[in-house]
Amino acid sequence: MDIKLLFHEGLDLYKKELYQEAIKRWTVVESLDENYPNIKMYINVAERQELNTLSFLDNMDPGENSEVSLVNTVNQIRLDFQSLLQRDKKEEAIHLLERLYIDRDCDPVALVFLIQANFEVDKKEKAIEIADKLIKVKPYWAKSFFIHGNISFQMQSFMKAKKSYLFALKLRPNSFQILSNLGSCCTSLNEVDEAKSYFQRALDIKPDDQRAKNMVNKLDDSSQKLEEEILKYYEKLNKENDYPDILLKIGVLQRKLGKIEEAYQSVEKSIKKNSLYVEAHYEKGKILLILEKYEEAYEAFYKVVKLQDKNFVGLTNILEFVKVSYFEEAALGLVKILRMEPDYGSVHIKLAKEYFDCDNVEMALEELNKGLGLSPSYPDGYYYLGLCHQKMGNIDKAIDYLKEALDLNPMYVDASLTLANIYMDLNEKRSARRLLQMIEVSLEEDHPSLSKIEELLDRSRN
């Protein structure tokens, strides 16, 4: 690809006031050569022009809504929002957000703030709706997809998060943070080999990153255990008939290892042995989603619906997607309403939180161990184990569990702050500073915990 030609195409489009198209070309130029002369400046100027155009289309006076003015307006609303929350006026704070969204629904600065603020007041569905809007407003901005991925990840919609991170990666192929988050996402989806490949690519950018190194080592161990488990089931197949449940287990393990085609063949064999095997049809749908065969995935999930023979809430809405051939949305909608993998682990972890809040550490530990036994990928479980051991004075164990929580969710701010405070108490200021700097980089400027992080960073430097 001729970078110079691509740059000049962008310049021609900019002169024609086709700012989004210009940004698209220049973003590709930057991804191919981030040191291309003044490319960042050209992108920033085009983004400002685009912002002014959007403001004008919203019937705003462009003169009064320069980029600086928009940022100042949002900063003031951010302060008002935090003030209302501090005075326990949550409803008024939410109303403030609703008004801002009506007034500034095409302003990227406002949208980024609104996503975080809505998430903070537990309006998660609204946060994801605004994240969708941000992508429409800034479709060539890697940050749009990155934020969408972060929100989806925190809502534990790992498949949706992965898709957003992949879009972000296309726009910023050498981003350590995107690659690292993709690794965490695939880990949560039990896609072991794929997770490992993203962490290894992240290490190519930052070879000394300890967390990425730790995750690669853990995933290596997981791969070996999965391979051993597959061999065990194959040995069982040789001794017994091709039982559908054994074939399904092999398929699930192969999917976790990233052997998607082999997994599909195993699950298909399972279904041929028992065409009414609900769990096998569900697994088939999951594999087809990974292969991006959305219509076939929808058909597999719909087969599960028919086999279960009961009324599912929301099914009518999903069928509307099918009428207009939106099979990806339909398939993901069916995954949501089917919930074939009951998350009993989270029930124990939520109960443990209540015990911890009531200072019943012994019962909290008991519930946490039960919960993590059923759902070992829950960061909250390890975070509360860390808090329990911190309270009991087992500081080394507390540190280990908090690190485990951060391995599973590197954006876990509370775990980072707790661990940083422990390091400060141990006078390990360098460790505290390194941890705080890592989490600070990943947060937006208006994140509510940023002031605490900056305060701790100041203390760690003294």
Within the chain, how many helices (H) and strands (E) appear?
Answer: 25, 0
Contacts of 141 (CB under 8 A, 6+ apart): 23, 47, 108, 171
The pairs formed by 79-87 with CB atoms below 8 angstroms and a separation of 24 or more are 81/117, 82/448, 85/120, 85/121
pLDDT of residue 159: 80
Q: Are 235 and 229 in contact (CB under 8 A)?
A: no
Residue 341 gets which letter from DSSP?
A: S
Question: Distance between CA atoms of 437 and 454, rounded to whole angstroms?
Answer: 9
Write down the pTM of the prediction: 0.49
Percent of the chain with pLDDT over 70: 86
Question: Distance between CA atoms of 195 and 219, rounded to whole angstroms?
Answer: 8
DSSP 238-267: HHS---HHHHHHHHHHHHHTT-HHHHHHHH
pLDDT for 42-100, tens place per residue? 787 776 665 554 433 333 333 334 444 444 577 788 888 888 888 888 888 888 888 88
Please, what is the average pLDDT of the chain?
81
222: which 2 tokens? 């997981």
Element (H, E) at 403: helix 395-408
> What SS3 state is found at 1?
coil
Length of the chain: 462
Question: Distance between CA atoms of 189 and 159, rounded to whole angstroms?
Answer: 7
Q: What is the mean pLDDT of residues 107-135?
A: 88
Percent of the chain with pLDDT over 90: 14
Q: pLDDT-derived band of residue 287, with 50, 70 and 90 as boundaries?
A: very high
Question: Distance between CA atoms of 186 and 182, rounded to whole angstroms?
Answer: 6
List the domain boundaries for the chain: 3-57, 140-204, 220-264, 276-341, 344-461
> What SS3 state is found at 418?
helix
340: which 2 tokens? 């074939």
Q: pLDDT-derived band of residue 398, with 50, 70 and 90 as boundaries?
A: very high
* Residue with more model confidence, 440 or 215: 215
Cα dihedral 357, 361, 363, 369 in deg (nearest 10) = 100
Q: Are 174 and 34 in contact (CB under 8 A)?
A: yes
pLDDT of residue 68: 41
Instruction: Say yes or no to pLDDT of 10 above 80.
Output: yes
Instruction: Say yes or no to pLDDT of 277 above 80.
Output: yes
84: which 2 tokens? 């209302």
Q: Where are the alpha helices (DSSP H) in 291-360?
A: 294-308, 315-323, 327-338, 344-357
Q: Are 11 and 25 in contact (CB under 8 A)?
A: no
54: which 2 tokens? 């959007």
Instruction: Say yes or no to pLDDT of 221 above 90.
Output: no
Closest CA to 55 of 105, 111, 130: 105
C-alpha distances in Å from residue 240, one per residue of 235, 244, 246, 254, 262: 9, 11, 10, 20, 21
CATH topology of domain 140-204: 1.25.40
Instruction: Say yes or no to pLDDT of 14 above 80.
Output: no
In single-letter form, the type of residue at position 280 comes to A
Instruction: Scan for tokens 């969708």, then name that residue.
Output: 132
Instruction: Say yes or no to pLDDT of 238 above 80.
Output: no
Q: Are 98 and 123 in contact (CB under 8 A)?
A: no
Q: What is the mean pLDDT of residues 374-398?
A: 87
User: Would the CA dihedral through 289, 292, 298, 304 be positive or negative?
Assistant: negative
pLDDT for 418-433, tens place per residue? 999 999 999 998 888 8
* Domain 344-461, architecture per CATH: Alpha Horseshoe (1.25)
Closest CA to 116 of 107, 105, 127: 127
239: which 2 tokens? 């001794």
C-alpha distances in Å from residue 253, one per residue of 94, 191, 225, 328, 333: 45, 10, 10, 24, 25
> What SS3 state is found at 172?
coil
C-alpha distances in Å from residue 78, one per residue of 75, 96, 445: 5, 10, 11
Q: Which residues of 285-294 are buried (b: 16+ CB within 10 A; e: fewer)?
A: bbbbbbeebb
Give the max Cα distance, the chain: 79
Q: Is 284 exposed, middle or buried (0-12, 13-18, 19+ CB in 10 A)?
A: buried
C-alpha distances in Å from residue 69, one per residue of 51, 75, 101, 293: 12, 10, 17, 46
pLDDT of residue 67: 42
- Fold agreement between 140-204 and 344-461: yes
Q: What is the mean pLDDT of residues 318-347?
A: 76
Q: Are 352 and 374 in contact (CB under 8 A)?
A: no
Question: Distance between CA atoms of 203 and 208, rounded to whole angstroms?
Answer: 7
